[in-house]
């Protein structure tokens, strides 16, 4: 299965290459259909008009979500403040920082950035637990680290969408790597190895 190599994308005109449309349709819950219908409406009416944060607002309004949670990285605290300020005009907004509980990385034998100081570990499970306690209708992630975002999504009771994906070298725009000849040349090298 390598859809990215397809040259005709006939699925866009209704072709079922994998003969599974019926199984997919049978597995959809009413909530799945409601989310997909709302997403389709926003795509259809807001295409090339709405930025991502406007799409999130419209989606939440159409889904009748009232309480929105923001799970953010401490390094994007200012961005989280701005997002909170924008959203609180229409919703009840709660937010939780990644360093909640102040759990020592050394206690868990985690890699530190600087061995000479105290470092609290990121706590995506704790973030999800706190937002679950708040009974959020929708949670937004703002710059959670790779892996931490996965754990947060897994433990969140509410649906989750990413507003900002962490990418420090590229200004939190991971797609820039595939538009930059410098990064792309390096990434496409057959023996490319991630070194840290």
Can you name the residues that pair with 162 across neighbouring β-strands?
A: 141
**Domains of the chain, CATH where assigned:** 13-165 (3.40.50.11840)
Higher pLDDT, 183 or 73: 73
Reported as a pLDDT band with limits 50, 70 and 90, residue 94 is: very high
* C-alpha dihedral, 77 to 82 to 83 to 87, nearest 10°: 140
To the nearest whole number, what is the mean pLDDT of the chain?
93
Residues 6+ apart with CB under 8 A from 31: none
* pLDDT tens digits along 3-46: 999 888 999 999 999 999 999 999 999 999 999 999 999 999 99
Tell me the whole-structure pTM to 2 decimals. 0.90
| pLDDT, mean of residues 88-114 | 89
* pLDDT tens digits along 116-145: 888 888 999 999 999 999 999 999 999 999
Q: What is the per-residue pLDDT for 132?
A: 98
Buried b (16+ CB within 10 A) or exposed e, 15-43: eeeeeeeeeeeeeeeeeeeebeebeeebe
């Amino acid at each position: 299965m390598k859809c990215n190599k397809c040259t005709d994308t006939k699925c866009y005109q209704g072709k079922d290459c994998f003969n599974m449309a019926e199984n997919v349709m049978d597995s959809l819950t009413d909530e799945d259909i409601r989310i997909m219908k709302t997403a389709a409406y926003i795509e259809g009416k807001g295409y090339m008009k709405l930025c991502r944060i406007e799409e999130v607002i419209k989606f939440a309004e159409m889904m009748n979500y009232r309480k929105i949670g923001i799970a953010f990285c401490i390094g994007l605290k200012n961005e989280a403040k701005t997002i909170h300020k924008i959203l609180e005009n229409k919703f009840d907004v709660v937010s939780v920082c990644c360093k909640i509980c102040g759990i020592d990385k050394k206690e868990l034998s985690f890699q530190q950035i600087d061995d000479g100081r105290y470092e609290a570990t990121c706590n995506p499970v704790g973030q999800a637990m706190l937002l679950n306690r708040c009974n959020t209708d929708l949670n937004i992630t703002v710059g959670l680290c790779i892996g931490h975002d996965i754990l947060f999504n897994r433990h969140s009771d509410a649906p989750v969408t990413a507003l900002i994906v962490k990418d420090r070298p590229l200004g939190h725009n991971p797609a820039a790597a595939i538009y930059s000849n410098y990064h792309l040349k390096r990434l496409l090298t057959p023996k490319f190895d991630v070194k840290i």
